[in-house]
Amino acid sequence: MANVKKQKGVVLITAMIMIVAVTAVAVTLMSSSSIDLKITNAAQERAEAETELIGEIHKLIVAEGTSANNRFTLKRQQMPDEGMDMSSPSTPSHMTSKLKNLNNGEMELHCPRQFAYTGGLTCNLTEMESTITYGSKNKHTITVVIGIGQEIISHNEGS
């Protein structure tokens, strides 16, 4: 009987240690899953922002290509040095698009990646830089830079 009375406290202490260990493992797993959810949410927000930005870029290029005043054909001297805003009234406020001319001086260039040269056509090279802000408080940004080569009728060659 004396031996049984001595061991009652040992079982209680062992049980308490086991409860503390299991609680620590549970807290660690909950914390880990919370971080995983945050990472997944951030990746999803970035993918949505990137898709929205690419869609807006395509929309701007199509609208510009079908416009009578196509800004892709403007020469370097016709475009401000800092570039020109490409945003339309339907462009979301958290996006910006700026068009810059890449031609050096007034020299006309042959369009790259041509299989057969067409006399009388030259290329106006422009660059469109589009940026979107996203996330809580719009603190993250994605920027996409696209080069555009627009064929135009040459002023220096016969057509």
Residue 42 lies in a domain: yes
Mean pLDDT to the nearest integer, 77-84? 87
Does residue 44 sit within a domain? yes
CA neighbor of 106 nearest in space, from 147, 154, 60, 146? 154
Please indicate, yes or no, if residue 115 is contained in any of the structural domains: yes
Taking only the tens place, the pLDDT of each residue in 43-78 is 999 999 999 999 999 999 998 888 888 888 888 888
Query: What average pLDDT score do residues 141-159 get?
Result: 77
Coarse DSSP helix, strand, coil percentages of the chain, rounded to the nearest 5 percent: 45, 25, 30
Distances (CA, A) of 151 to 45, 64, 111, 121: 37, 14, 7, 6
Q: Is residue 23 in a domain?
A: yes
124 or 106, which is more confident? 124
150, with CB counted inside 10 A (0-12, 13-18, 19+), is middle
For residue 158, pLDDT over 50 is answered with: no
Q: Which pLDDT band, with edges at 50, 70 and 90, does 23 fall under?
A: very high
pLDDT above 70 for 114: no
| Residue 156 confidence class, pLDDT cut points 50, 70, 90 | low
**Rg (the chain; Cα; Å):** 31
User: What pLDDT was estimated at residue 123?
Assistant: 80
Q: Does residue 61 fall inside a structural domain?
A: yes
**What does each C-alpha distance from 106 to 79, 122, 125, 126, 148 come to in angstroms?**
12, 12, 12, 14, 17
The mean pLDDT value of the chain amounts to 83
- The reply to whether 159 falls in a domain is no
- Return the beta strands (E) in 1-159 as ranges: 84-85, 95-101, 121-134, 140-153
Assigned domain for 158 exists: no
Distances (CA, A) of 115 to 112, 126, 137: 9, 21, 48
pLDDT at 159 (0 to 100): 42
State the total domains in the chain: 1
More confident position, 34 or 17: 17
Range of 47's domain? 2-153
- Distance from C-alpha of 147 to C-alpha of 127, rounded to nearest angstrom: 4
Rounded mean pLDDT of 132-138?
Answer: 89
Q: Is 106's pLDDT higher than 80? A: no
Collapse the DSSP code of 51 into the 3-class scheme (helix H, G, I; strand E, B; otherwise coil) and give the result. Answer: helix
- Percent pLDDT > 70 in the chain is 82
Would residue 120 count as lying in a domain? Answer: yes
